[in-house]
Amino acid sequence: MNVEAIKSIYFFEMARMRRTLLQSVISPVITTSLYFIVFGTAIGSRIQSIEGVSYGSFITPGLIMLTLLTQCIGNGSIGIYFPKFTGTIYEILSAPVAMTEILIGYVGAAASKGLIIGLIILATASFFVDISIAHPFVMAVFLVLTAVTFSLFGFIIGIWAKNFEQLNIVPMLVVPPLTFLGGSFYSIDMLPPFWQAVSHFNPVLYLVSGFRWSFYEIADVNPLLSLGMVGLFLAICLSILGWIFHTGYRLRS
């Protein structure tokens, strides 16, 4: 294991985040604060509480997940795409590092950033609404697993993308609908039966539901099933990466 190399990549990436602090941290904080003001305080005060949880508190886990997904996919993809784009990737590919070590460095940094931002949002939320965490350990497990899984997913997109448009298409076009329709802002019990069934094909539903359970012990699906789905998605990402590393897909000709 080339630990020095992993450390170098990790800290190099984290330094990039410090440089782009405004964009990386402040903008998601502002966005989510707006959500809390509009949905939590303004509209939320007129919405009845869901299973005994006030609306503002109810949407908090979903909002954290939304930010975590977007951040991890974004950071995970740009981290590897940018050196590919500028050509500086030659250095990593000609260094004595295995692809798994490159992965640990980039994905570790992307997941760390996502987690930091997720926790900042949680702290921000506590200014606007009442938050209680019933199972802190489970919450941490969900956070870390989700961060790692979606940073891996971002890494795959970064390797696959040939231009900035492709790079942005998944985070911009796929993630928001999945999150909005994944029960971030409502319990799927509120949907007609047909849409309830459709929702079960949405992976984000399981994330949000399980994560919310760790806060308020209310869930759309069994929390264990949620955990299983995150694990399944993690396994899928890892297998795709295994294939990419094995074939050198879009990295080595």
Partner 1 sequence: MASVVSIQNLTKTYGNGFEALKGIDLEIEEGEILALLGPNGAGKTTLISIVCGLVNPSGGKVLVGGYDVVRDFRQTRAMIGLVPQELTTDMFETVWNTVSFSRGVHGKKPNPELVESVLKDLSLWAKKDNMLRELSGGMKRRVLIAKALAHEPQILFLDEPTAGVDVNLRREMWQVVERLRENGVTIILTTHYIEEAEEIADRVGVINGGKLLLIEEKTALMKKLGRKQLRLELAEPLKILPDSLSPYNLTLSEDGAALLHEYKGEEGDGSIASLLSMLQAENIHFRDLSTRQSSLEDIFVALVGEQA
Q: How many residues bind partner 1 (CB under 8 A)?
A: 26
Is the CB of residue 12 less than 8 Å from the CB of residue 82?
no
d(CA 239, CA 253): 21
Q: Tell the smallest beta-carbon distance from residue 250 to partner 1 (Å).
A: 10
Residues 14-33 interacting with partner 1 (rule: CB under 8 A): 15-16, 19
Please identify, using beta-carbon distances, which residue of 6 and 170 lies nearer to partner 1. 6
Q: If binding is defined by CB under 8 A, does position 165 make contact with partner 1? A: no
Return the HEC string of 179-241: HHCCCCCCCHHHCCHHHHHHHCCCHHHHHHHHHHHHHHCCCCCCHHHHHHHHHHHHHHHHHHH
Q: Which is nearer to partner 1, 104 or 208 (CB)?
A: 104
Binding mask 63-102 for partner 1 (x = CB under 8 A): --------------------x--xxx-xxxxxxxxx----
Stretch touching partner 1 by CB under 8 A, among 10-18, 36-44, 68-76, 115-123: 10-18
Q: In the bound complex, what is the minimum distance in angstroms from residue 74's beta carbon to partner 1?
A: 17
Give the binding site for partner 1 (CB under 8 A).
Answer: 2, 4-5, 7-9, 12, 15-16, 19, 83, 86-88, 90-98, 248, 252-253
